[in-house]
Chains A and B, each alone.
Chain A
Amino acid sequence: EPEVTQTPSHQVTQMGQEVILRCVPISNHLYFYWYRQILGQKVEFLVSFYNNEISEKSEIFDDQFSVERPDGSNFTLKIRSTKLEDSAMYFCASSLAGGNTGELFFGEGSRLTVL
């Protein structure tokens, strides 16, 4: 069964460092997303990406965040200067149709710990 894969599974970094989280969406999917979940809290939308550009982003997705699809398979999330409050599980997701049709396929997540 096709799946979304994410690397690394866990990253520990110092405050102020840059972090890149990588995702390989399901190959025939057209829409890509990043969500995050702070421990014990709800899953929060960060950004959606379609046709090589950002289609929606939340208030959380400020200038410290960026996304890129550098080739035909990878979808990355970069945090330029990490803060303590960026510590969370970051989920990549993809869908064949737009997200409001409901079926998002999530990767297993990348746990980011900022010290």
Chain B
Amino acid sequence: RKEVEQDPGPFNVPEGATVAFNCTYSNSASQSFFWYRQDCRKEPKLLMSVYSSGNEDGRFTAQLNRASQYISLLIRDSKLSDSATYLCVVPLGNTPLVFGKGTRLSVIA
């Protein structure tokens, strides 16, 4: 199994829709997880951290399922500005972060 796997998409959704992305990881010892956002040809930026079962920040909810080794990101009431690539990021022990390939989201008016 690859270290971090994501559905590449693209997910094309209308404004106002709810969309969810999943990410699976291989290292069962990982304790913390992150979602980064990357706009086209820009740098990644931290969106959310997930240290326990989940985290919520406004329209964004991240959930962790340790037994199945996946994390999810839910975006409610999608905005045009949410269009980006969402990167699932997992540290592997003491090594720095391993990035997934990302899931591309396009929110359409």
Seen from chain A, the residues whose Cβ lies within 8 Å of a Cβ on chain B are 33, 35, 41-45, 48, 56, 89, 91, 98-104, 106-109
Q: Which of A42, A89, A102 contacts B101 (CB 8 A)?
A: A42
Say whether B45 contacts A44, CB under 8 Å.
no
Residue contact B44 to A106, C-beta cutoff 8 Å: yes
A99 engages B87 (CB within 8 Å): no
Residues of B whose CB lies within 8 Å of any CB of A are 32, 34, 38, 41-46, 49, 87, 89, 91, 93-102
Q: How far is the CA of A33 from the CA of B89 in the complex (A)?
A: 15
Name the distance in Å between A114's Cβ and chain B's nearest Cβ: 18
Contact for A91 among B34, B43, B93, CB less than 8 A? B43
- Taking A91-B44, A99-B91 as contacts, is the C-beta distance between A104 and B100 under 8 angstroms? no
